[in-house]
Every structure is written in C-alpha cells, then in structure tokens.
Amino acid sequence: MTEHAQMGLFDPVEGRRRKEEGMSRASAKHGELLRMTRAVAVQIARGRLDSCCWADLVQQEMLRRYEWYAPDMLGNAAGSIFRGTEWTFTGRRVQSARIANHSRELKVWHLLG
C-alpha cells in the first residue's frame, strides 16, 4: 500500500458515505426551505419545453419570488435540490451565471413524468 492509502486519503466508498451523510444532515437542517426550492424547480421544469432545470434557474426564481431569500441560505442543502426519483441527470452541463460560482459547471436535470 502507498503511504497515502495507508493514511486513509483515498477510499471511494467512505467518500460516498460521507457525502450522503452530509447531504442528509444539510437537508434535515434546511427542510422547509429545501421543499420550497424543490417545488420551484418542478414548476420551472414544467414550464419549459424540454422539462429541464438547473440550480441557477432555481436560485433566480427564488430571488424573484421571495424578498427574504438569499442564495446562501440553503448552504450545503443546495446540492440536494434535484435529489429524488423525479429527476434524472441529462448528461448536459451549463456554466453558472452566478459571479460567485466562477463559471462552475452545473448539471442539467430533466423532470420525469
């Protein structure tokens, strides 16, 4: 074993477990706000011909609808907006328009049904 492997730096199973654990904690902490953003994502997708949505669209709509909303309110729970059986990853990505995201790529999600 390499020194790094011995130190426990590389373990995809453990990494996945920690990701799931963190997402669950963040989702529980921001439950009501997460439900609101998920509902907005569904509404956006239903209003589009391709039934697709991504995080920037949800953030923009939340800001438009709710004067009290700030993009950082969801924290790590933002990564859970498209979790669930009603969404599937399209394989496409778009560059984020949010300045703070530094043109990071965002997954494009398709609403099923």
pLDDT in tens, 69-107: 998 898 888 889 999 999 999 999 999 999 888 899 999
Banded pLDDT at 2 (limits 50, 70, 90): low
Cβ proximity of 62 and 69 under 8 Å: yes
State the Cα–Cα distance between residues 43 and 47, nearest whole angstrom: 6
State the Cα–Cα distance between residues 89 and 68, nearest whole angstrom: 30
CATH, residue 38: 1.10.10
Considering the entire predicted model, what is its pTM? Answer: 0.80
Contacts of 88 (CB under 8 A, 6+ apart): 109, 110, 112
State the Cα–Cα distance between residues 35 and 5, nearest whole angstrom: 39
pLDDT for 66 beyond 80: yes
State the Cα–Cα distance between residues 93 and 99, nearest whole angstrom: 17
In the chain, the number of structural domains is 1
> Is residue 68 a part of any domain in this protein?
yes
> Is residue 69 a part of any domain in this protein?
yes
The boundaries of the domain holding residue 67 are 11-111
